Amino acid sequence: MTNNKIITVTLNPCIDKTVEINNFKTGMVNRTLYTRIDAGGKGINVSRVLSDSDAGSLALGIIGGMQGKILEDILTGENVCFDFIHGSGETRTNLKIYDKITRITTDINEPGPEITGNTLNLFYEKLICVLPNARVLVLAGSVPPGCDTSVYASIIKIAKEYNVKVILDADGELLANGIGAVPAVIKPNIHELENLCKKKFTDEKEIISSLKDISNKGIELIAVSLGKDGAIFYNNGKVIKAKSLDVNVKSTVGCGDSMVAAIAYASVNNFDLQMLSKTAVAAGSLTASKDGTNMCRITEALKTAANVEIQTITEI
Ligand SMILES: Nc1ncnc2c1ncn2[C@@H]1O[C@H](COP(=O)(O)OP(=O)(O)OP(=O)(O)O)[C@@H](O)[C@H]1O
Ligand SMILES: [Mg+2]
């Protein structure tokens, strides 16, 4: 546990179950051609990307029941370190039905078990045990029913007492409330940024001017991901725009999570803004080139980072 410099938090993890069906029809008996299960949840995805990292990563969170045990088994098989609190109820399963003929995916997502009793307190106790040896804390994804949308803000305040840098990747009230506690880094995608700013952006200038406003609240780095169009990074008045790598896109699931993992790695290793941007965009692009819920590993992103084209923009 001593070398786990990057801690990830997934309060509402899941098992992703993907089935392939020829010609999926509702209201009929459908037969599967292929089934696959993966560990899911945004913080867990970040830990998966970092599983071959020399910085070490530890996944924290709340799991439950048999599905929770299956999740732990999958992560053990992937060399991901974890230390979960076992709460009540079953860890949720998110079903993805892929129709091989139409190539359409239907998602059926469970909300996850409600957090009850002392579970959240046990989580905080665990967090406080690991924070003294950590450098970066990643808070990512949705939270389970029964959990307040100020939960990330509370965790950020605790992390700051231990001088641990927080990277927040969330949407809606979780992001807005989290920003209130001033994390070091946020990584909204463009839709999450528009939600936060309550406006649609029509050009890059508008995006950058909104980043300036958010950064004035004390946030060191804002990374806005733009899907296939790459990302914009804003740090202390410096703006870098990075282009995605030209990859054969197979599945964009987890691209943003890969980018967050790379930012966490770059923070622990004190990369400058240029190197951080290149590594982050390389990680996202590499994950886009992988099937289903497969994610890149940080070593691959580091090897490819030099190929990412960046442009420094003079702040408006
Ligand atoms: N179609 C694509 N082609 C190439 N690179 C991509 C593509 N989609 C995403 N990426 C890369 O991944 C990064 C993050 O992607 P995106 O903006 O989709 O994140 P996100 O919406 O947060 O994803 P997530 O579903 O993981 O939360 C992008 O900045 C880009 O580098
Ligand atoms: Mg995302």
Domains recognised in the chain with CATH numbers: 6-12+42-89+114-313 (3.40.1190.20)
Strand pairing of 92-99 and 105-108?
antiparallel
CA distance 22 to 24: 6
* Catalytically annotated residues: 257
**Nearest bound ligand to the CA of residue 190:** 1
**pLDDT score at 263:** 98
pLDDT in tens, 264-290: 999 999 999 999 999 999 999 999 999
Protein residues near ligand 2, an ion, with CB under 5 A: 256
pLDDT in tens, 33-52: 999 999 999 999 999 999 99
**Nearest bound ligand to the CA of residue 253:** 1
Position with higher pLDDT, 294 vs 292 = 294
Q: How large is the average pLDDT for residues 289-308?
A: 94
- Across all residues in the chain, what is the average pLDDT? 95
Residue whose CA is at the smallest distance from ligand 1 atom 22: 256
CA distance 305 to 158: 33
88: CB partners within 8 A, 6+ apart: 64, 113, 116, 117, 119
pLDDT in tens, 184-235: 999 999 999 999 999 999 999 999 999 999 999 999 999 999 999 999 999 9
Q: Structure pTM?
A: 0.95
**pLDDT score at 1:** 46
Q: Which residues, judged by CB distance below 6 Å to any ligand atom, belong to the binding site of ligand 1?
A: 189, 225-228, 230-231, 244, 247, 249, 252, 254-257, 259, 281, 284-285, 288
pLDDT in tens, 154-194: 999 999 999 999 999 999 999 999 999 999 999 999 999 99
**pLDDT score at 103:** 86
**pLDDT score at 251:** 86
**pLDDT score at 117:** 85
CA distance 135 to 49: 17
> CA 76: distance to chain centroid?
20
- Closest ligand 1 atom number to CA of residue 280: 31
- Alpha helix positions (H), the chain: 42-49, 65-77, 119-130, 151-161, 172-180, 190-197, 204-215, 255-268, 273-288, 298-304
Q: Given its phi and psi angles, is residue 68 left (phi above 0), alpha (psi -120 to 50 degrees) or beta?
A: alpha
315 has pLDDT over 80: no
Pocket test of ligand 1: the residue of 167, 191, 255 to mutate, having most ligand atoms within 8 Å of its CB, is 255
- Alpha helix positions (H), 50-149: 65-77, 119-130
**pLDDT score at 132:** 97
